[in-house]
């Protein structure tokens, strides 16, 4: 089989011929149809992600395909089952052997391309807004990086939860995509005084921030007393430093959110969230947005789209027909 490999941290992935994986006990082998790209793939390739894997390794946090073999004495999705997989690594290959607990059956109505980029983006936003942020109907939600992979799902889920959603994104095209996903109001991320603009809109109750940097600082100062700020990531490359005195005087909470961590310390919460999301998808309540579907050979193009923040919604790599 063919698989992309990270052989040297900081270098581009290389395409290699590798032996077909043999699933061990507790694993299933998946014939992979598509893999979703995430900003974390860039960090992992540099060695700056919170999880590190021994070199060489096959990147790709999430993928979708068909189970084609089970390991010995293993109970899991039957051979032939269409599944989405979150294993944290191994998705950018023609086949992968994954723990059965990382596989979620997907409905026949859901394409592999949609399923491949569904779990992390929607799962992050659903757990962040509902479980951690305690977003309530009628509250004002500010989404930074609102047209990106996770940001767009936060707009959509926030609107479903009954919030007034303010989407912050660069340029009119991206703002229009956020409005189509449910944002009632939008702001350009290049606004000269973002803090003043947000205050003029009445302030915010919950901030969803996958960007960091100056945007977080502006949002912090525009958050109403009792507000919650959800730290999702740092696509700007700048990790904000939080002035604790502001938290004190305004009774604010800053909450970190790493979706993959739930697979280790609270997998039942993650699985309950995914069950809800797949049910919403089946009911037509969610409209996943894939801005780029690229062939397997063009992984570098997909990574560059993420690196330069030129994609909207998800970038998905098609791997093989099923």
Domain span at residue 204 reads 124-258
- pLDDT value of residue 290: 94
- pLDDT value of residue 207: 98
The CATH number of the domain holding residue 217 is 3.40.50.720
- pLDDT value of residue 321: 84
How many folded domains does the chain comprise?
A: 2
**Judgement on whether residues 105 and 128 belong to the same structural domain of the protein:** no
- Alpha carbons within 13 angstroms on the beta-carbon side of residue 32 total 34
Beta-strand pair 27-36/314-318: antiparallel
**Judgement on whether residues 114 and 128 belong to the same structural domain of the protein:** no
**Judgement on whether residues 192 and 128 belong to the same structural domain of the protein:** yes
Q: Which helix (H) or strand (E) holds 83?
A: strand 82-86
Burial 68-92 (b: 16+ CB within 10 A, else e): bbbbeeeebbeeebbbbbbbbbbbb
pLDDT tens for the chain, 322 residues: list them: 999 999 999 999 999 999 999 999 999 999 999 999 999 999 999 998 888 899 999 999 999 999 999 999 999 899 999 999 998 999 999 999 999 999 999 988 899 999 999 999 999 999 999 999 999 999 999 999 999 999 999 999 999 999 999 999 999 999 999 999 999 999 999 999 999 999 999 999 999 999 999 999 999 999 999 999 999 999 898 999 999 999 999 999 999 999 988 988 998 999 899 989 999 998 999 999 999 999 999 999 999 999 988 888 899 999 998 7
**Judgement on whether residues 8 and 49 belong to the same structural domain of the protein:** yes
**Judgement on whether residues 161 and 93 belong to the same structural domain of the protein:** no
- pLDDT value of residue 51: 84
Domain boundary among the residues 215, 239, 258 is at: 258
Q: Is residue 263 domain-resident?
A: no
Give the Cα-Cα-Cα angle 116, 58, 154 (nearest 5 degrees).
35
Full-prediction pTM beyond 0.85?
Answer: yes
88: three-class secondary structure by DSSP: coil
What is the DSSP annotation of 9-69?
Answer: TTSPPEEEE-PPP---TTEEEEEEEEEE--HHHHHHHHT-SSS--PSSB---SEEEEEEEE
Contact 102, 87 (CB under 8 A): yes
Give phi and psi for 287, each to the nearest 5. Answer: -130, 80
| Biggest alpha carbon–alpha carbon distance for the chain | 62
- CA 269, 272, 276, 277 torsion: positive or negative? positive
**Judgement on whether residues 201 and 220 belong to the same structural domain of the protein:** yes
**Judgement on whether residues 80 and 133 belong to the same structural domain of the protein:** no
């Amino acid at each position: 089989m063919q698989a992309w490999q990270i052989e040297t941290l900081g270098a581009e992935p290389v395409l290699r011929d590798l032996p077909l994986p043999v699933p061990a006990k507790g694993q299933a082998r998946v014939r992979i149809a598509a893999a979703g790209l995430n900003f974390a793939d860039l960090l992992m390739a540099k060695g700056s992600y919170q999880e590190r894997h021994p070199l060489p390794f096959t990147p790709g946090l999430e993928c979708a395909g068909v189970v084609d073999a089970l390991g010995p004495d293993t109970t899991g999705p039957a051979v032939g089952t269409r599944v989405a997989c979150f294993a944290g690594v191994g998705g950018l290959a023609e086949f992968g052997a994954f723990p059965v607990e990382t596989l979620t059956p997907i409905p026949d109505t859901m394409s592999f391309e949609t399923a491949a980029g569904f779990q992390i983006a929607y799962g992050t936003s659903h757990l962040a807004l509902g479980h951690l942020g305690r977003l309530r109907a009628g509250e004002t939600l500010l989404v930074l990086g609102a047209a990106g992979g996770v940001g767009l799902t936060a707009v959509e889920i926030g609107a479903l939860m009954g919030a007034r959603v303010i989407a912050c994104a660069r340029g009119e095209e991206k703002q229009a995509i956020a409005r189509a996903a449910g944002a009632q109001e939008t702001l350009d991320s290049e606004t000269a005084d973002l803090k003043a603009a947000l205050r003029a809109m009445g302030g915010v109750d919950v901030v969803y921030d996958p960007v960091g940097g100056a945007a977080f600082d502006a949002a912090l100062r525009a958050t109403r007393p009792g507000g919650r700020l959800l730290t999702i990531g740092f696509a700007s490359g700048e990790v904000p430093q939080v002035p604790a005195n502001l938290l004190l005087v305004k009774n604010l909470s800053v909450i970190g959110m790493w979706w993959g961590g739930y697979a280790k310390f609270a997998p039942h919460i993650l699985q309950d969230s995914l069950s809800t999301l797949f049910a919403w998808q089946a009911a037509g309540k969610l409209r996943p947005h894939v801005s780029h579907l690229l062939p397997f050979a063009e992984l570098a193009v997909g990574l560059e789209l993420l690196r330069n923040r030129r994609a909207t919604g998800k970038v998905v790599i098609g791997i093989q027909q099923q």
